[in-house]
Structure 1
Amino acid sequence: MSATAHAGFDWHPHFIALVDAIEASRLQGETTLCSLAAEQSEFIRFNAAQVRQIGTVSQGRLTVRLIAGARHAYSTLTLSGDRQADLAEVDEAVKVLRSALQDSHDDPHLLFDTTTWAQSLRRHGQLPDPAHLVATVTARAHGLDFVGFYAGGTIVRGFASSTGSRGWHQTDTFNFSWSLYDPSGRAIKTTYAGDQWSDAVFAGKLADAAARLPVLKLAPRALAPGRYRAYLSPQALDELLSVLNWTGGFSARQQATSSSTLYKLHTGERQLDPRVHLTEDLALGVAAGFNDDGYVRRNVTLVDAGRSVEQLTSARTAREYGLSTNGATSDEAPSSLSMRGGDLPDSEILAAIGTGLYIGNLWYVNVSDPMNARLTGMTRFATFWVEDGKIVAPIEAMRFDDSIYRILGDELERLTQAPELVLNDASYGERGTGGHKLPGLLLRGFALTL
């Protein structure tokens, strides 16, 4: 990523100045839609409980869409933060877009919001100062083979249309994931994310992971393929639902083309356990409440009492298939997925397992049978064999292959009481927004294949 504006840069007045200039340059019959993605982030990489890489990134990207009738074109610019330089860039971009429209064809599926609205969310968090974080980690993790990656800071999303709509989403969040390694090469992975950093919470999570390190020194338990009683952590469930997201599990477009991984759920042929409730919940505040087509996003009930209720419908899908948009983004994937919890306290998870698997993480998850929502992947770190409510051995990595209709259906025994917020930890090109708030799952059976 390339650093642009200086540290502590206020993107809001800069964005408004650019938008005002763009809208002032419009010709009769033209509409402009402007979207901003910006951040001020700290990145720290640890190895052996010492800093191996540290840096600050301040960057912003502006996407300008020019629309005339049913023709449209867009351009994305990297902003410098220097107002005069950026004004010159956007002025040239609008001229290029106007020229491009002359050679464009009408888009039969073009749809954008023409109403006027205003929305602003500014959530200020309590993030650790980098120097303080480094001191805390090096002190707390002294003597441990601690490998981790911290990303935290302010993330901004902005929107403005020439119809008068204005949207602003600004949040302070952090995402810290780390692993404690044993000389055997096995490890325990832990994550800590949110908007209110606490040294005590970090220390508690680190201590819990360190307390399990002696188990990794034991001879790993070899399991034969078969179905095993198992607990899946919120992080493991996040891996499963994330795959359903990017394979169109909740997409109206994918459902309309019979390619959704949850096709049978949406047609009513299959259903999940009645305790399963899934909602695109914008109240989590981890994703912008508006999209790049100018629509205000709303909460969408996706699954209620185990049955499909609604899919996420973007503007283009609504226009093409005669549906009503519900403010979904163009990828029609949940960005604030929330699932209700159940009655299992975290303190009773091991006792509830009895004898079986404790699965902290799943890796390399993909779809093995789209029409039956079968997913495959690997167990890896923080997977243990439990006997009589106690962790007794690590498990060698094994492949699983099971259907979400079993995991969230026939095999679901209990849900944990307190769902956990798992933030999007993507940082390729820019820090991602969004996340899932999910409980852990106790399953009667989970299929390991090899």
Structure 2
Amino acid sequence: MMRAHLQALAAALGALLREGEGYTLWLEAERTDFVRFNHGKVRQAGAVEQAYLDMRLIRGQRQATQQLSLSGGPDDMALLEAALPELRAALEQVQDDPFLLLNEQPQSSERIAQHALPPAENMVADILAAAEGHDLVGILASGQMSFGFANHLGQFNWQQGESWNFDWSLYSHGDKAVKRSQAGTAWDGAALRGAIDEAAGQLEWLKLPAKTLEPGEYRAYFTPSALGALLNMLNWGGVSEKEVRSKRSPLLKLAEGEVKLSPLVHLAEAGGEGLSPLFQREGFIRPERVELISGGEHRNSLIDPRSAREYGLQPNTGSMEFAEAMQLQAGDLPRDQALQALGTGVYLSNLWYLNFSDRSACRITGMTRFACFWVEDGKIVAPLGVMRFDDSLFSLLGEQLEALTAERELLVDAGSYGGRATQSKLLPGALVKSLRFSL
């Protein structure tokens, strides 16, 4: 329904344009069920249905944009008609944008995923059954998300699909908990039960006295979630062409060939397998896959249309130059052998408060969080006291990287401020020979 509605709005708007004017329309819509859990019970449930349209008017190198909230009904056209003179007036006040670049070769597309989720009630029933007897807290978000684009050149793009995201923790006592997240486009109640059972097993270790380590270097295993916290930092300009050209990228030394990572590192932006649309706000179609790092060497950066205009390149991403569907190639270490391979060291489930301590060296500092453990001879023996680490990704993903797990986990941003997030990562776990703890 919303697809046809956007097409009708685009056609009607096109008929109102004056000579020399153009437009783009960008639609984000969702129908989402939200369920909040606490103490293993449903505490709040609700549903959100919303659609927001960014209407941009263009004349030459000038642009002005207004966001509209759509109902999906006939009144929406009146909103566009009211916004049009306001945008025309705004164009008289703004200057030419020298870096404005719009797709002028129409490429229409449609991708409608066939995955069908069960009703939210069924998903909730699976969660409650798996969480019985545990203090589970979390938020389930599930439903359909749609994205659309149209412009005055007749281009029309549409993507629609269903997905779910369950961000949850099992609480133990005090500040002790096991935090996990699961997501996907198909519901798997058995996998959810397995994850909750595994987390429940870790609760027993959290009851033991915490192990306090002296500052120093230790062998470490990062779960996909912990590794994801580190790789999130690369979206702070690390994969951006603009930041590389401006000499501000934390991966600048890698991009310029001054350093190399481990041959095990193959990092890509896999837009064709993510939740975000392959088209973007300026009408360009993103590649299905962009190799960022191959065999430890820099291959490409992400280039938005503005950088493409400034540096004479072809755009390959949206407007923010960050990875929306990051993938790290799996290794050959079976996940169930990770502790044995670690031997003696730290098992890191979750990290937080991350920041750059030395951006030029890609050095990151942060804190251990939920369910981090001290391991001896391949067995967890104690929870780890809160520690601060400070180390470089050039080292952790370079000479110190020993292995990556054969299995990967899909991690989806649980954010819902203004709308459900679509940023995702598909990551293995990582075993490193040395991680430096400073406090």
Residue in structure 2 matched with residue 66 of structure 1 by the alignment: 57
Deviates more, 1:334-343 or 1:180-189: 180-189
Q: C-alpha separation between the residues in 2 aligned to 1:420 and 1:139?
A: 23
Give the total of aligned pairs.
Answer: 438
Residue in structure 1 matched with residue 264 of structure 2 by the alignment: 275
CA deviation after TM superposition for structure 1 residue 64, in Å: 0.9
Q: C-alpha separation between the residues in 1 aligned to 2:173 and 2:349?
A: 20
Q: C-alpha separation between the residues in 1 aligned to 2:157 and 2:274?
A: 14
8 Å contact from structure 1 (residues 147, 179) kept in 2:
yes
Pick from 87, 96, 101 the counterpart of residue 91 of structure 2. Answer: 101
CA deviation after TM superposition for structure 1 residue 350, in Å: 1.0
8 Å contact from structure 1 (residues 123, 172) kept in 2:
yes
Q: C-alpha separation between the residues in 2 aligned to 1:237 and 1:214?
A: 24
CA deviation after TM superposition for structure 1 residue 137, in Å: 2.4
Pick from 163, 166, 169 the counterpart of residue 153 of structure 2. Answer: 163
Q: C-alpha separation between the residues in 1 aligned to 2:117 and 2:230?
A: 29
> Which amino acid in structure 2 is aligned with residue 66 of structure 1?
L
Q: Secondary structure at the match of 2:406?
A: coil
Describe how 1:289-304 pairs up with structure 2 within 5 A: 289-298=278-287, 299-304=289-294
CA deviation after TM superposition for structure 1 residue 396, in Å: 1.4
Runs of 4+ more than 4 Å apart:
none
Runs of at least 5 residues in structure 2 that lack an aligned partner in the other structure: none
Pick from 309, 312, 317 the counterpart of residue 307 of structure 2. Answer: 317
> Which amino acid in structure 1 is aligned with residue 304 of structure 2?
S
Q: C-alpha separation between the residues in 2 aligned to 1:327 and 1:165?
A: 18
8 Å contact from structure 2 (residues 239, 321) kept in 1:
yes
TM-score normalised by the chain length of structure 2:
0.97
Identity fraction in percent: 42
Q: C-alpha separation between the residues in 2 aligned to 1:327 and 1:216?
A: 45
CA deviation after TM superposition for structure 1 residue 151, in Å: 1.0
Q: C-alpha separation between the residues in 1 aligned to 2:65 and 2:108?
A: 23
Residue in structure 1 matched with residue 298 of structure 2 by the alignment: 308
Residue in structure 1 matched with residue 353 of structure 2 by the alignment: 364
CA deviation after TM superposition for structure 1 residue 160, in Å: 0.8
Q: C-alpha separation between the residues in 1 aligned to 2:402 and 2:221?
A: 10
CA deviation after TM superposition for structure 1 residue 309, in Å: 1.1
CA deviation after TM superposition for structure 1 residue 124, in Å: 3.2
CA deviation after TM superposition for structure 1 residue 81, in Å: 2.1
8 Å contact from structure 1 (residues 184, 217) kept in 2:
no
Q: C-alpha separation between the residues in 2 aligned to 1:124 and 1:376?
A: 42
Residue in structure 2 matched with residue 5 of structure 1 by the alignment: none
Q: C-alpha separation between the residues in 1 aligned to 2:374 and 2:114?
A: 41
> Which amino acid in structure 1 is aligned with residue 254 of structure 2?
L
Residue in structure 2 matched with residue 252 of structure 1 by the alignment: 241
Q: C-alpha separation between the residues in 1 aligned to 2:379 and 2:176?
A: 19
Residue in structure 2 matched with residue 127 of structure 1 by the alignment: 117
Q: C-alpha separation between the residues in 2 aligned to 1:69 and 1:28?
A: 11
> Which amino acid in structure 2 is aligned with residue 400 of structure 1?
F
Describe how 1:215-234 pairs up with structure 2 within 5 A: 215-234=205-224
Q: C-alpha separation between the residues in 2 aligned to 1:142 and 1:180?
A: 11
Residue in structure 1 matched with residue 192 of structure 2 by the alignment: 202
CA deviation after TM superposition for structure 1 residue 214, in Å: 1.1
Describe how 1:395-406 pairs up with structure 2 within 5 A: 395-406=384-395
Q: Secondary structure at the match of 2:80?
A: helix
Q: Secondary structure at the match of 2:173?
A: coil
8 Å contact from structure 1 (residues 290, 327) kept in 2:
no
Q: C-alpha separation between the residues in 1 aligned to 2:316 and 2:24?
A: 15
CA deviations 1:65-88 (Å, max 9, x no partner) are 111111111111111222x21110
Q: Secondary structure at the match of 2:132?
A: coil
